[in-house]
Amino acid sequence: MSYQFLLDENVPRTIFKLLRQKGFHAEYVPQGVDDRTVIKIAREKNLILITRDSDFADELRYPPNSHPGIIVLRIHPSLPRVMVERLVFLLENIKELNGKIIIVYNDKIEIIGG
């Protein structure tokens, strides 16, 4: 399955480049938009959101299946190289991203919804 992604403005360009190299559609949100607008864009364009903003991990505010999917990168320290490695691991090992909240940590992946 070929996913399409919306990158929050806090996501490093290395993630954008990686996704494009792997043949995925990826685009950034407009600068300065609030969370409500970010999720609205994701829903309207049917794009899976990639963000470092932990507010998007709130399953009460963003219930599974009420959006195309949310990937929250909780990598510390927030080195772009480590974020890329963890995202590659996710894309190679998790086959269904749609409608889920997926929280990516240094040492584990948490999936909410299913």
pLDDT in tens, 63-102: 999 999 999 999 998 888 899 999 999 999 998 999 999 9
DSSP H or E stretch at residue 92: helix 80-93
Q: What is the pTM of this model?
A: 0.95
**Residue 74, C-beta contacts closer than 8 angstroms, at least 6 positions apart:** 52, 54, 57, 103, 104, 105
- What the chain holds in terms of domains, given with CATH numbers, is 4-112 (3.40.50)
* pLDDT for res 13: 96
* pLDDT for res 2: 79
What is the DSSP secondary structure assignment for residue 63, as one 8-state letter? -
Q: Is there a contact between 76 and 106 (Cβ–Cβ < 8 Å)?
A: yes
Q: CA-based angle 86:90:92, to the nearest 5? A: 115
Q: Is the pLDDT of residue 1 over 70?
A: no
pLDDT tens-digit readout, 36-47: 999 999 999 999
